[in-house]
Chains A and B, each alone.
Chain A
Amino acid sequence: MRIEESRNRDVLVVKPMDRRIDASSAGAFKSLLHDRIQGGQRRIVLNLSEVDFIDSTGLGAIVSSLKAVGEAGEIVIANPQETVMSLFRLTRMNRVFQILPSEEEAVASLSKS
């Protein structure tokens, strides 16, 4: 799975570059996120601008990572496409995650907290 990573102060920005996060790729995606979390990263922006399909297994990987950052950490979703937002709404995960329209706003949100 192709992923771009960048850092802005103590915020890690993870940007999947593949169009799909599905059952075939969710394991690798989850492993990468958990690896960064175990390395001490607790504030993560997940930029989903390039992703147009996530299934429930892919969503499960994101949820698992949110649980792994603990109560003191946060994962903010940035710039999801409408197809991905639909999945968050169908599963009510739009009430779990903070979802912002741009990476810049997501980074700023975590930098303030």
Chain B
Amino acid sequence: MEPFSDQVARINISIDSCLDQVFMVGAAIRGICAELQLAAGVASQLELAVIEGVNNAVKHAYESQAGHCVEVIVAVSREWIRFEICDEGKPLNFQRGTALDYDPHDRKNLPEGGMGLHIMGRVMDEISYSSREGRNRLILCKRLG
């Protein structure tokens, strides 16, 4: 049996802007990836990338203040899986493809933060960010197969 039809399947996941709740997004992503029979390595990287996007929304867009909504819209076709992470907080200074440039032998200057965008860029095939009419959208897309 095919895991899904020719149509695009969608599900919306909403959490409060609280880091304690972000794991629920990860659990949902794992479940979707399992249903799609994606390889374990791909599934774990997709979970990581989406979690990084949601963490950014909570920590930066909402400045770690609970009581706001972070929405993750997951859309799946035969060819791709797309995650749209939406918030209505402060727009991010998004620089596509920000490289994680450091000397691994220079211990004092190793990065302790700023790795999330790099991870998303490494894992996903397409990544974009927009902010319109008070709503911020981070779109992460991965081709399947």
Contact = CB atoms under 8 A, between A and B. Distances in A.
Contacts of A20: 23, 26
A91 B102 CA distance: 10
A86 B41 contact: yes
Interface residues of A, number: 27
B142 interface: no
B132 interface: no
Interface residues of B, number: 31
Contact of B47 (A53, A63, A93, A96): A53
A98 to B, nearest CB: 12
B110 A96 contact: yes
Interface of B: 19-20, 22-23, 26, 40-41, 44-45, 47-48, 51-52, 55, 58-59, 100, 102, 104, 107-108, 110-113, 115-116, 118-119, 122-123
